[in-house]
Amino acid sequence: MNYQQLAKKIVQRALKRGAKQAEAFLQVGRSADVRVRDGEIEDLTQATSKGVGIRVFVKQRQGFVWTSDFEPGALDALVDRAIAIAQMSAPNPLNGLPDARDLGRFPDVGELFDPRVAGLPPDWKIKAAIEMEKVVRAHDARIKTIESVGAGESVSEVYLASSAGVTGSYEGTSVYLYASPVATDGTQLQTSYWYDARRFFEDLASPEEVAKKAAARAVRLLGAKKVKSQKVPVVFDPSMAASFVASVAGAANGDLVYKKSTFLASKLGERIAPAHVSIVDDGLRKRGLGTSPFDGEGVPTRRTPLVENGVLKAFLYDAFTARKAKTKTTGNAARGYRSLPAIGVNNLVLEPGTRAPEAIIREIPNGLYVTAMLGHGANVVTGEYSRGANGLWIENGELKQPVQEITVAGNLTDMLQQLDAVGSDLTFHGSTGAPTIRFRELTVSGE
């Protein structure tokens, strides 16, 4: 089936039936995942999916429907239903497709599709998962069980057509490995994890690498204790740094800014962090899991610096929110075929510095190195930040005693200002990447 042509026909049908504007967002995909236990397949999932979301506008009223039935009669009926829904909806002068000034030529984002991933043999996942399980168990006798270990891949296609003149498509792949072992010393259990996900198979870490990393992270937490409550320098490993950056990006949501429901609302153009801090939403990053030539509304993607050399430079917008704020979309409309566009991120990156993480830790006489956190913990309205944490205590510049059942607290405004070191070890977790980071002083609550 020619899905691009189908998307165009849906739009044409909607216009003929009375829509002033119309859009079809179509997705087709397949995925497979396997989990193993004790050398045997515990769960094997293979799935295919397809669907189209249809958005229409009638007299500033919006109607939206979706379906997985691509039969012509069913699609015609659905278009009519979308129009009927629009006619019953409340009008809003801000409704509509992106303005012509926001549309244009799609950027060259490079290849997003890997034929090798698309053609992986079915037993690849099984062999990889079994190998990881063996490596994890062999790493240390204190690893008694494995919570989960597995591998998978997916292939997806996206097609978009709209009455604004937009037609576009792209296809992409992803492949991943994950392991979550449980270590015990007879008195306590410690669970950790590691995973790697890439668009291209050649970029993926080996099963052995993922397994060893996961095992080491679990074992090093054995013997963890609480520490006394105190204010000390705190270092986040790259995975926790990525989580922190996601909280900052969440506060840069243009809709929250318009509602004044974010601590960043009044800070555009101000210095909110030291000069060595730059955070970018990069929809153009080569081989990025969040890379695409256009967003969920057909707006060309781009590289948007949110924080540049410590200065807050931009917020993120989709077309609707940009109209509310009387600004321009940043190409950050995220969606699937079952949902309306909403503000999201592409590839979110805290740009790396030049310092090795070991050097950053070496400067701390007494502090905390965080490797895992519990809960969300960040209130983007007030900036308050409080999360349960596990990790390693730093003594005289070295990682020493494992710690657990503690809370790291601060305020995002202060934390950004106190982000006094950024490492060179940029690491991606999904579509968010960050290096090791250090905060000059945060509150650690324990005993």
At which residue do the structure tokens 């044409």 appear? 12
At which residue do the structure tokens 């659905």 appear? 78
Q: Tell me whether strands 398-411 and 384-395 are parallel, antiparallel or unpaired.
A: antiparallel
The pLDDT value recorded for residue 116 is 97
3 state DSSP class of 424: coil
Q: Tell me whether strands 427-429 and 342-343 are parallel, antiparallel or unpaired.
A: unpaired
Asked whether the predicted pLDDT for residue 184 surpasses 90, the reply is yes
Contact 368, 394 (CB under 8 A): yes
Contact 416, 248 (CB under 8 A): yes
Residue 374: partners with Cβ closer than 8 Å, 6 or more residues away:
387, 388, 389
Q: Please provide residue 279's backbone torsions phi and psi, each rounded to the nearest 5 degrees.
A: -120, 130
Calculate what percentage of the chain has a pLDDT beyond 70. Answer: 100
pLDDT digits (tens, 9 = 90+) for 187-199: 889 999 999 999 9
Asked whether the predicted pLDDT for residue 401 surpasses 90, the reply is yes
If you average pLDDT over residues 247-265, what whole number do you get?
Answer: 97
Calculate what percentage of the chain has a pLDDT beyond 90. Answer: 96
Asked whether the predicted pLDDT for residue 144 surpasses 80, the reply is yes
Cα–Cα distances in angstroms (integers) from residue 40 to residues 127, 134, 318, 424, in the given order: 10, 12, 46, 40
At which residue do the structure tokens 């060179």 appear? 424
The pLDDT value recorded for residue 425 is 97
- How many Cβ atoms are within 10 Å of 91's Cβ, its own excluded? 13
In the chain the domains, ranked by start, together with CATH numbers, are: 3-219 (3.30.2290.10), 230-242+352-445 (no CATH), 245-279+288-346 (no CATH)
Q: Residue 114: CA atoms inside 13 Å, Cβ hemisphere, count?
A: 19
Contact 401, 225 (CB under 8 A): yes
**Of 237, 240, 239, the residue nearest 423 (C-alpha):** 237
The pLDDT value recorded for residue 87 is 96
Contact 156, 27 (CB under 8 A): yes
The pLDDT value recorded for residue 122 is 85
If you average pLDDT over residues 150-168, what whole number do you get?
Answer: 97
Q: Please provide residue 399's backbone torsions phi and psi, each rounded to the nearest 5 degrees.
A: -75, 125
The pLDDT value recorded for residue 254 is 97
pLDDT digits (tens, 9 = 90+) for 114-138: 999 999 998 999 999 999 999 999 9
pTM equals: 0.94
pLDDT digits (tens, 9 = 90+) for 260-297: 999 999 999 999 999 999 999 999 999 999 999 999 99
Residue 39: partners with Cβ closer than 8 Å, 6 or more residues away:
130, 133, 134
**Of 213, 236, 194, 253, the residue nearest 438 (C-alpha):** 236
Q: How confident is the model at residue 422 (pLDDT cuts 50, 70, 90)?
A: very high
**Of 105, 72, 104, 85, the residue nearest 22 (C-alpha):** 85
Lowest average pLDDT, out of 9-13, 16-20, 35-39, 281-285, goes to 35-39
